Amino acid sequence: MEPSSLILLCAAAFAAGLIDAVVGGGGLIQIPALFNVLPQAQPATLFGTNKLASIFGTTSAALRYARRIDVPWRAALPAAIAAFILSYFGAMTVALLPKEWLRPLVLVLLIVVTVYTYMRKDLGAVDQRRVHSRRDMLLAILFGGVIGFYDGFFGPGTGSFLIFVFVRFFGLDFLRASVSAKIVNAATNLAALMFFGANAHVLLAIGLAMALFNIGGSLVGSHLAIRHGAAFVRRVFLGVAGIFILKFAWDTFT
């Protein structure tokens, strides 16, 4: 690989880690970069390499958040376990199902989530500090499983969907929701990476080089989120969700 191509991938990994640490969505940057630089590689190999780079940044952000922010484990942990299991099965279907079936549905969901969040100015502004019940834990398993399968199979927008779920259904503010989303996302990345790695769908050297820069970006992103709080995370969430909508609309209708 040309040095300039590796530099481009590492720069994309840094930007992806930064955005992903705040609200998710790093795949929007990292996956297109891999496809552009390595057009001859199999799609499954590029997705596996993306997971290798991402898991380091996601995990480092989750650890940094967990040291500074009170984690709602009764909601985050069941969601993470369900997401881990279903993400593996989602990765197994990558080569079996056409992703074009999913694009219109994801586009509609993104529009609904973004409009709802924008209209509800108070949504996620204050943490309700709810004591999560057994019903909440079952709900976390349900959402974690569905979103985990989606992340293993396709992925873009996973972080945004997770944050919205934790804000809307579990009463968290945007900062604590971002913490919870990182924990779940680390689990989905690990499960998908296990599948891709077991089937030799990972470019190890490139993935590890990108991982270093992904970690750097995640440290910057988590620092900004912790420093500026829930209102900052909400603004970034709306901005990234808007970009997702434009990209999915372009991919769906062109």
Dihedrals phi, psi of 94, to nearest 5 degrees? -55, -45
Q: How far apart are CA 148 and CA 130, in angstroms?
A: 24
pLDDT attached to residue 77: 95
What is the average per-residue pLDDT within 65-93?
92
Cβ-Cβ contacts under 8 Å for 134 (sequence gap 6 or more): none
pLDDT tens digits, residue range 30-45? 988 998 899 888 888 8
Cβ-Cβ contacts under 8 Å for 80 (sequence gap 6 or more): 144, 183, 184, 186, 187
Q: How far apart are CA 171 and CA 177, in angstroms?
A: 9
Task: Indicate whether 212 pLDDT > 90.
Answer: yes
pLDDT attached to residue 8: 94
Task: Indicate whether 10 pLDDT > 90.
Answer: yes
pLDDT tens digits, residue range 81-99? 999 999 999 888 876 766 6
Instruction: Report residue 155's pLDDT band, with 50, 70 and 90 as the boundaries.
Output: confident
What is the average per-residue pLDDT within 184-197?
91
* Lowest mean pLDDT, pick from 59-68, 103-112, 140-149: 103-112
Q: How far apart are CA 179 and CA 23, in angstroms?
A: 9
pLDDT attached to residue 137: 95
- Local structure of residue 59 (DSSP, 8 states): H
Report the candidate in 61, 46, 41, 90 with the shortest Cα–Cα distance to residue 210.
Answer: 46
pLDDT attached to residue 148: 94
- pTM, full prediction: 0.87
User: Longest C-alpha distance within the chain, in Å?
Assistant: 54
pLDDT attached to residue 97: 67
| Residue 81: both structure tokens together | 């376990």
Report which of residues 102 and 166 the model is more confident about: 166
pLDDT tens digits, residue range 239-254? 988 888 888 888 778 7
Q: Can you tell me which residue has the tokens 């945004």?
A: 160
Residue pair 29/11 in contact by the 8 Å Cβ criterion: no
What is the average per-residue pLDDT within 151-174?
88
Q: How far apart are CA 29 and CA 11, in angstroms?
A: 10
| Residue 235: both structure tokens together | 């603004």
